Chain A
Amino acid sequence: MAQSAIPAQQAEPRPAPMRVPVRDVLPWAVFAVALAAVLIYLVGAEQGATSLFGGTWVHEFTHDGRHLLGFPCH
């Protein structure tokens, strides 16, 4: 059985779940959190409670998504 020419799928050892070391994750975590903060702020809050750019263009452009994703809009 062990001599089969084609390696059987089920015979493959199931690798133990490996851990990504925390120090490897952290720099990427900082990057992902910063990027997500900017994107979610633009979609969810800019020109609502707070405003970095003048006017209401960002608010109006993201209007439907802001409502449907559950952010307070106006």
Chain B
Amino acid sequence: MMRSLLVRGMLAGLAAAAIALLIAWLYGEPQVGHAIAFEEAKAHTAHEGHEAEVVGRTMQRTGGLITAMAFYGVALGGLFSIAFAFAHGRLGALGARATAGVVALAGFVAVELVPFLKYPATPPAVGDPETIGSRTALYFGMVLLGVLATTAAVIARHRLAPGLGGWNATIVTAVGFAVVIAVFYRITPKPDAVADGFPATVLWDFRVASFGVQLVLWATLGLLFGYLTERAFQRNARSAAEPVPAGA
């Protein structure tokens, strides 16, 4: 049971990464190219030596990006199936598809939306290399906050629903969630460093592209996993209901 869920999650994650890869190529890579061109023009005018390339641009755009997306998709898909296993049957009368949808939405909010609004994705040439340590810690800290706050919100909504009704419980929980996140946004530092003259349109388009990659990844993962799991559950229920071979 758990084994098939986990394998299905990883495969759905891999498929979701393949779709998200198309978004990354179509919308993300042009902006990465612009950013690197800016970086090189700046290094050229500053008469800095050209950095020796460890991995060429073509490899970064193809093999490197494919590998990174595949690893990320498999990792996310595995975690998704675990979250699904905890959620299924414990969030009221939701079936497999609806549970997968709720888990995907919650996961997207926790892992992408919460960190993104404070520490959005940055293209090459944006961000001070001196602060990579603190930025990495703050980013992963914000992911952790997103996961904890979203999990707490899902549990709180479930507890409040019998007393307040589903609609009001959702509103109360969402407001509480927003207040907690807003307080943390206010008290955490923002070591952002956009280089002088970096084109604002490239920064904006890169961030929208990055958000889009994550949105497509999570949506595909949730919908595909939900479809496959619903089908598997129905098949199991049917075979349990009819132990006699068909046509006998």
Chain A residues proximal to chain B, CB less than 8 Å: 12-20, 22, 24-25, 28-29, 31-33, 35-36, 39-40, 42-45, 48-50, 55-57, 60-74
Contacts and interface: CB of A to CB of B under 8 A. Distances in A.
A69 B136 CA distance: 13
A74 B139 contact: no
Nearest to B233: A15
Given A32-B81, A66-B68, A49 B32 contact: no
Given A15-B237, A36-B75, A74-B127, A49 B86 contact: no
B64 A22 contact: no
A29 B82 contact: yes
Most chain-A Cβ atoms within 10 A of its Cβ — which of B9, B63, B88?
A: B88
Contact of B112 (A61, A64, A67, A70): A70
What band does the interface of chain B fall in when counting residues whose beta carbon is under 8 Å from A?
Answer: 35 or more
Given A57-B54, A60-B60, A68 B88 contact: no
Contact of A70 (B78, B95, B121): B121
B122 A61 contact: no
Contact of A61 (B1, B5, B59): B59
A43 B210 contact: no
Nearest to B138: A72
Contacts of B53: 60
B65 A36 contact: no
Contacts of B99: 17
Contact of A67 (B94, B121, B136): B121
B227 interface: no
Contacts of B225: none
B236 to A, nearest CB: 9
Given A17-B94, A74-B132, A43 B122 contact: no
B6 A32 contact: yes
Given A35-B78, A57-B55, A67 B93 contact: no
A68 B137 contact: no
Contacts of B2: 20, 24-25, 28
A19 to B, nearest CB: 4
Given A49-B133, A60-B60, A62-B64, A71 B90 contact: no
B72 to A, nearest CB: 5
